[in-house]
């Protein structure tokens, strides 16, 4: 060792040569004594207090026969290592899968039969004669009297009785063995949903078994991103190293359980150093690929009914976070769609069902399926037979935004600009004629009635039943996204990008076939300064804001405008005041109000 130091080798190199495990003995021991007997030599004793050491021939002679014993004289503060349970737990945790057997000298209580003393035997005979005075039995041979006693028996107990099945070829391991192993190391009572057993070769060689549990662990997302769930156990040459590597699996796969065992990783360095080892990145990459292969092979029925319900959010987060595996993860996505009232659909299935000449995947986001499918934005799409994907979870729209395309088809949010339909030359001429007809109304809305509220007003191609809708730009927020962003727990209103998106004006689309819109066009042509028409335009805008999923900035003003419209519909003077009451009255609605007095 001294020669190695003089040659300029670093301390870490010395530890690598002489074994960090041996040096760690001095962390708990004041003195280490090694007694060893070689087959062709006399027995010797090596003793050290970490500062100096001595080697002498054992004055006791050959007491071992052959082999080595290591004795630790423990420090006072390390006395818990004298506890049998502490020793057992350490062996089971770190050396459960070592190839050679590890025994611990331990005791257990057994019940055995021993010959009874003469006085006790005579007492038992007397009790038997009293109890069975009326019964006479003849015995050719009297059995010796015994008694049951509890004795403490000491013996060697095998601690690593579970064999590392990942070291065996997968073809030789039965399914029941995988299930038993999973339950043993994961402490789960249910069978795994899926598993994969493989050997990876190349830059690093390792063996692994990975499992998908039947149900998601409790609190799976409680501390997502800040705390790594410890479900992957790393072994080096069957020696347990840690289950607390933050980079062994990406966050979105924090539900996967399994073991990884490699002979290529160094065993004689600290866990902190090992965590920075370049080979771990290679291992991580292969683990992710194998995990996605395992998930992909889960049967469709089992995948949709079980896996997606438990871990669907994880896959969506993976699409957002894992750029290198985004294409693979996209194939695992499932969504509700207009194709079926309850069954989930994959993006592959959607593309297979796309109409001829359809070049985009249409989706609509909402708080629920009912909200999404009743949105004015999907009216014409559904009427023309286009399939629309419904995004009903908060993470869904983030997920789709992270996907630039799928199978060469780009995504189109139907609540934003860009929804176009294939049209003939005749249809194009008809549309242009309608746009020219409604140009006075569109200009009046943009420049006067809704001047500070909208970017522009256009004739809609997507509406069939609703009078109007509020459409975001391609890079703006949809109503669903705005609702999610404003509901963020840490939203302070000071974020520049958030304020930018929130302040963007929208496009106001009108349905030229709707009677309200056609009547407004007539009135604007007659008198564009008509207060009633202006109120109607603003009410339509605010109603479209709500139906398009956005929030109203001023609900009181909206309520006041609705009241004015109701007064007009009931022929009540807009300036009519409350009526005086002759009797006290308690009511949630005011009996003095003109509306209630009409009834």
Annotated binding site for ATP: 17-22, 68, 271
Secondary structure element (H or E) that encloses residue 242, with its range: strand 239-242
Residue pair 515/463 in contact (Cβ under 8 Å)? The answer is no
Cα–Cα distances (Å) from 372 to 343, 379, 387, 514, in that order, read 16, 11, 13, 22
Reference 256, options 320, 204, 307; nearest CA is: 307
Question: Quick one: tokens of 356?
Answer: 């001829």
Question: Quick one: tokens of 25?
Answer: 């003995």
Cα–Cα distances (Å) from 357 to 312, 361, 390, 415, 488, in that order, read 31, 12, 22, 21, 40
Q: How far apart are the first and last CA of the chain?
A: 104
Q: How far apart are CA 470 and CA 506, in angstroms?
A: 6
- 365 class by beta-carbon count within 10 Å (0-12 exposed, 13-18 middle, 19+ buried): buried
Q: In this structure, what DSSP letter does residue 231 have?
A: -
- Overall residue count recorded for the chain in this entry: 599
Question: Quick one: tokens of 474?
Answer: 């391609």
Residue pair 312/214 in contact (Cβ under 8 Å)? The answer is no
Which residue ranges make up the annotated binding site?
Answer: 17-22, 68, 271
- Cα 16 from chain centroid (whole Å): 39
Angle at 38 between CA 32 and CA 44, to 5 degrees: 40
């Amino acid at each position: 060792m001294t020669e190695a130091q003089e040659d300029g080798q670093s301390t870490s190199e010395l530890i690598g040569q002489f074994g960090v495990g041996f040096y760690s003995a001095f962390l708990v021991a004041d003195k280490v004594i090694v007694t060893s007997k070689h087959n062709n030599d006399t027995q010797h004793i090596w003793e050290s207090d970490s500062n100096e050491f001595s080697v002498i021939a054992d004055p006791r002679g050959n007491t071992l026969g052959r082999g080595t014993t290591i004795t630790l004289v423990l420090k006072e503060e390390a006395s818990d290592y004298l506890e049998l349970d502490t020793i057992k737990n350490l062996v089971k945790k770190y050396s459960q899968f070592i190839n050679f057997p590890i025994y611990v000298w331990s005791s257990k209580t057994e019940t055995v039969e021993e010959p009874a003393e003469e006085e006790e035997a005579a007492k038992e005979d007397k009790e038997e004669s009293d109890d069975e005075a009326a019964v006479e039995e003849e015995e050719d041979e009297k059995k010796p009297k015994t008694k049951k006693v509890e004795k403490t028996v000491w013996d060697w107990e095998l601690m690593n009785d579970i064999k590392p099945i990942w070291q065996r070829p997968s073809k030789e391991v039965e399914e029941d063995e995988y299930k038993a192993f999973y339950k043993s190391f994961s402490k789960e009572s249910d069978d795994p949903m899926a598993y994969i057993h493989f050997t990876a070769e190349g830059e690093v060689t390792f063996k692994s078994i990975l499992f998908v549990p039947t149900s998601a662990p409790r609190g799976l997302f409680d501390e997502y991103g800040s705390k790594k769930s410890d479900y992957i156990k790393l072994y080096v040459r069957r020696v347990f190293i840690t289950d607390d590597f933050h980079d062994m699996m990406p966050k979105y796969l924090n539900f996967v359980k399994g073991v990884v065992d490699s002979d290529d990783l160094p065993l004689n360095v600290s866990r902190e150093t090992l965590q920075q080892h370049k080979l771990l990145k290679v291992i991580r990459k292969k683990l992710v690929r194998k995990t996605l292969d395992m998930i992909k092979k889960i049967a469709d029925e089992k995948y949709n009914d079980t896996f997606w319900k438990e871990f669907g959010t994880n896959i969506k987060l993976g699409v957002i976070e894992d750029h290198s595996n985004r294409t693979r993860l996209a194939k695992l996505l499932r969504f509700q769609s207009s194709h079926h009232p309850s069954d989930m659909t994959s993006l592959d299935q959607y593309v297979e069902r796309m109409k001829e000449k359809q070049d985009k995947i249409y989706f609509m986001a909402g708080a629920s399926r009912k909200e999404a499918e009743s949105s004015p934005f999907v009216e014409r799409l559904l009427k023309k037979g286009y399939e629309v994907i419904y995004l009903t979870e908060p993470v869904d729209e983030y997920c789709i935004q992270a996907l630039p395309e799928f199978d060469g088809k780009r995504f189109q949010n139907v609540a934003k600009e860009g929804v176009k339909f294939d049209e003939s030359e005749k249809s194009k001429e008809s549309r242009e004629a309608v746009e020219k007809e409604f140009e006075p109304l569109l200009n009046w809305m943009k420049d006067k009635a809704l001047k500070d509220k909208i970017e522009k007003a256009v004739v809609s191609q997507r509406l069939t039943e609703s009078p109007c809708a509020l459409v975001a730009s391609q890079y703006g927020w949809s109503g669903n996204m705005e609702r999610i962003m404003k509901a963020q727990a840490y939203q302070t209103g000071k974020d520049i990008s958030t304020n930018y998106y929130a302040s963007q004006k929208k496009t106001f689309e009108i349905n030229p076939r709707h009677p309200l819109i056609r009547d407004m066009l007539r009135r604007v042509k007659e008198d564009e300064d008509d207060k009633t028409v202006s109120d109607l335009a603003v009410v339509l805008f605010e109603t479209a804001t709500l139906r398009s999923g956005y929030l109203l900035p001023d609900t009181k003003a909206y309520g006041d405008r609705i009241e004015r419209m109701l007064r007009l519909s009931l022929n009540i003077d807009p300036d009519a005041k409350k009526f005086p009451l002759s009797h006290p009255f308690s009511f949630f609605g005011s009996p003095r109000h003109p509306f209630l007095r009409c009834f």
